[in-house]
Chains A and B, each alone.
Chain A
């Protein structure tokens, strides 16, 4: 009898997931990009050094201006620290990519391996440029307008010599020219680390660090009118007590009209850098309650996501951390203090065993609320030898929002794309196939990037692209509220997402069954306001700050 029941259950399960059957709302299928001719490589397979354990940043933007999302992936480097070539894959708008023809600016560049990328039209000329963070001088690549690039590092002064990880563009001093905040990690000296030997973790000999190694200070570069940048010291606090920095997001945290920064730091307290009148940065994370775990300890901050999951218009931060710890969910209260809401949002248990990197808020099922995603993978390959221990490759995770700001993993875990364990690191989100839902791209350590195509039964949606004025053409720092009946969906426009990566800068609004967004309220980076009336679903909109014009086209145009 029991066998019969089991067969029946299996049968039902087959019927439920078989070809042609309606998919669950959150269902992703995976395929690698590059046809085997590109892989990110990060040092040795056994990860001898801390420098081998992460990287694989990716960027999803339309680099060649054909209206379709393209994919840039950093190549990393070998065990000797020699760089590998980065790669650009051009999208066809249906979810497929082909590698762009050889571009010398993307070839292996001596001086250090690449870890992350920030894709942004930093000079406001209408095409998307690249800032590549490396262990060694970073690189600024200017887009010629057709998806080929020229190296502008030397002229710009942005060749930060540190071991850089995250980077974020922002108009720090509100002069209409974008500035750059560069997050740095460890003052890495391979010879000195060799002398330290190995660390012991769960009985395994693993690489040494970052604890015990000197950290590097983060840097702020102010943009000048001539296209060059100046390294500045915004007050006394930045760099006084350097941390092992990773992810960074920019937003107007205190509502005073200028952009602040939140930086996730590995094994050291996270920082909330408040911008004081465009001149000084003051870290308020400790005072306001978003520096440490709920027990008061520093966590291994990796990636950061910024969003509003419960629809109360207050910002929330989601930060990925080490395994045997939780990914932290902070919510800003109306009193200005941040509270650790991980348990209330039900994210403590499902994140406890994961070691997370890229992450993001995104309405993956287009039902009108922000879900969360995270890409995972342990830093130590040696973990596979620990009985009952965490695995080196780990499955990615979706946390579905119930509409009230509580999260749970979907029953099918997001489909086969999310069930395969990988060494996920970088990650970006965007509508690759122009079907109105959000797809994901995972930057895989020691592997090819993987597309996670969204095949779920999602709701209606629309996309909004903001075109800002002057140098800040991407309207970084703008705040957008989408009105849907009683509900308001809030979005913050930034330039880097998750972990060392950049996503499509168009804003996605899930509408569920609704056929239209009832309106949009925009606060542009200069504080000016604009309201847009009804926007029908299934379309992509481009809203221009200067002209006030709202253009619309089919999604993907």
Chain B
């Protein structure tokens, strides 16, 4: 009622001011729905989600085909602990809604019902559509753990932490470049931070800026190589990675990148050689051994993988990612051994 009073007043004013040349249109159902949805959005911003749900339900009486409102109604009901979450989300889905946020809501609704397997499927759908959706990685990690999938939980958590960390790095990089706009290394750091979050075009802009400020810039070449790799331009990628090596010979990252590229192209010897070079140029860095271990897993060389994980642990015994990779490799070895026993 409170909402319609201003509408009525507006209408009366409009009628009063009308000089007769333009006929005044009464508000349509869609207009009323839109006003209610806008009000619901404002109310939700104050934390009053039950009221927002009420307004959205009213809006949908005027415009039952508003797919976004059905989704939002599901969200508000979920946050408020109200019934009818699934009904609202089903309506949105039936109208074709397939966004990352929709699947996130669906996953959270399943979680609330303690349906973890269904929640996992929904979060994976959200991540297919938006791979950097950190909330989905976090919730997926929790669900995987409850389902008993420790390794998958750790992988999801690592991805969540990577995205959160990358956001912080990006913020810091942007602040730094604002303070020192003429610093090419800072511009390259901003490029790397953008790329880490998947903003490829922005990363390319920052790379260009970085080269403009300092041409022999290893970090800028590193980012340029990764962008080229993402775009499928292996030749350009290799050129940039070689330049990184010539400018910063103890940087293992170009070797790690080239190892992954070689693996993807089926050149296993090159993959091994590049991974080994990474361990030679940075023998104290646990990341190079972790990368090499992952390569061995991909090649099915599990004993070598386990030995390499142990080398990573020698360099950083606390690194959670490595601890969990060791557990994973041990599981794989155990599974392989059981499979062999069965065959025998």
Q: Say whether B47 contacts A295, CB under 8 Å.
A: no
Residues of B within 8 A of A345 (CB): 81
Q: Does B245 contact A (CB under 8 A)?
A: no
Contact with B along A185-227 (1 / 0, CB 8 A): 0000000000000000000000000000000000000000000
Determine if B151 is an interface residue (Cβ-Cβ < 8 Å). Answer: no
With an 8 A cutoff between CB atoms, is A337 at the interface?
A: yes
Closest chain B CB from A478 CB (angstroms): 30
Contact with A along B161-191 (1 / 0, CB 8 A): 0001000000000000000000000000000
**Residue from B81, B139, B142 in contact with A348 in the complex, judged by beta carbons closer than 8 Å:** B81
Residues on B with C-beta less than 8 A from A353 are: 46-47
Complex: A427 Cα to B199 Cα, angstroms: 49
Neighbouring A residues of B46 by C-beta, 8 Å? 352-353
The answer on a CB contact under 8 Å between A289 and B80 is no
Across the interface, do B138 and A348 meet the contact criterion of CB distance under 8 Å? no
Selected from A295, A337, A347, A406, the residue in CB contact (under 8 A) with B135 is: A295
Q: Nearest chain B CB to A122's CB is how many angstroms away? A: 36
Interface string of B106-147 (1 = CB under 8 A from A): 001001101000000000000000000011011100100110
Q: CB distance B47 to A349 under 8 Å?
A: yes
Q: Which one of A289, A345, A349 has the greatest number of beta carbons of chain B within 10 Å? A: A349
Partner of A296, one of B81, B82, B114, B134: B134
A343 at the interface (CB under 8 A from B): yes
Interface of A is mostly: loop
A354 to chain B, nearest CB (A): 9
Are A296 and B160 in contact, with the CB atoms below 8 A?
Answer: yes
Q: Which partner residue on chain A sits nearest B77 by CB separation? A: A343
Residues of A within 8 A of B137 (CB): 296
Task: Kindly provide the distance from the CB of B274 to the nearest chain A CB, expressed in whole angstroms.
Answer: 35
Within 8 A of B (CB), among A319-338: 324, 326, 333, 335, 337
A339 neighbours in B (Cβ, 8 Å) = 111, 114
Are A349 and B50 closer than 8 Å at their CB atoms? Answer: yes
A293-306 CB mask vs B (1 if < 8 Å, else 0) is 01110000000000
Q: Is the CB of A348 within 8 A of B145?
A: no
| Distance, CA A349 to CA B50, complexed state (A) | 7
Does A287 sit at the interface, judged by CB under 8 A?
Answer: yes
User: Considering only CB atoms, which chain B residue lies closest to A338 in the complex?
Assistant: B142
A344 on interface, CB distance cutoff 8 Å: yes
B47 near A352 (CB under 8 angstroms)?
yes
Q: Determine the distance from Cα of A289 to Cα of B111 in the docked complex, in whole angstroms.
A: 13
Distance in Å from the Cβ of B317 to the closest Cβ of chain A?
A: 11
B78 interfacial by beta-carbon distance below 8 Å: yes
Residues of chain A having any CB pair with chain B under 8 Å:
287, 289, 292, 294-296, 324, 326, 333, 335, 337, 339, 343-349, 352-353, 406
Known: A337-B145, A344-B112; 11 extra A-B contacts, CB below 8 A, are A292-B138, A294-B108, A296-B137, A337-B142, A339-B114, A346-B80, A347-B81, A348-B81, A349-B47, A353-B47, A406-B81
Query: What are 8 A-B contacts with C-beta separation under 8 Å?
Result: A295-B138, A296-B134, A296-B137, A333-B114, A337-B146, A339-B114, A349-B79, A406-B81
